[in-house]
Amino acid sequence: MKIVLQRVSSASVTIESKVVADIQKGLLILVGIEDMDGQEDIDWLVGKITKIRVFDDENHVMNLSVQDIDGDVIVVSQFTLHAATKKGNRPSYIKAAKPDIAIPLYESFIEKLESEVGKTVQTGVFGADMKVSLLNDGPVTIIMDSKNKE
């Protein structure tokens, strides 16, 4: 499971001109799921996401987590995070999980994240054509891969 975590001042997701998610200060998380992912990957990533210190304290040092600041979170599914680009110019998405595997894992990821942050996590719609807007704060962007825990 791969994620791109971005610290944002604001973010939103729009589908067919309708805003389906909208947050202020917090995290926008893009999630890519592959066939080999499972609960262990979810648990590890959620543990990292909820504790990662990417928000400034009173001394302007990144020392606070999303929980510490009572920040908001949006999660968006993004199979293109598993793009293989080694050959040719057209990315291959063969490693990305099909919906029958990805959807339950995506939903489990959101449930676990909500449980850990103690608030509702807003989301896009799995498989939809989404327009994601964000004001990246910093910019702070972190990539995590549950297969590279070491």
Question: Catalytic positions, please?
Answer: 78-80
Q: Which residues make beta-bridge pairs with 11? A: 23, 134
Q: Which residues make beta-bridge pairs with 14? A: 19, 131
How far, in Å, CA of 81 to CA of 100, rounded?
18
Smallest Cα–Cα separation from 32: which of 104, 86, 93, 82?
82
How many other C-beta atoms lie within 10 A of the C-beta of residue 77? 25
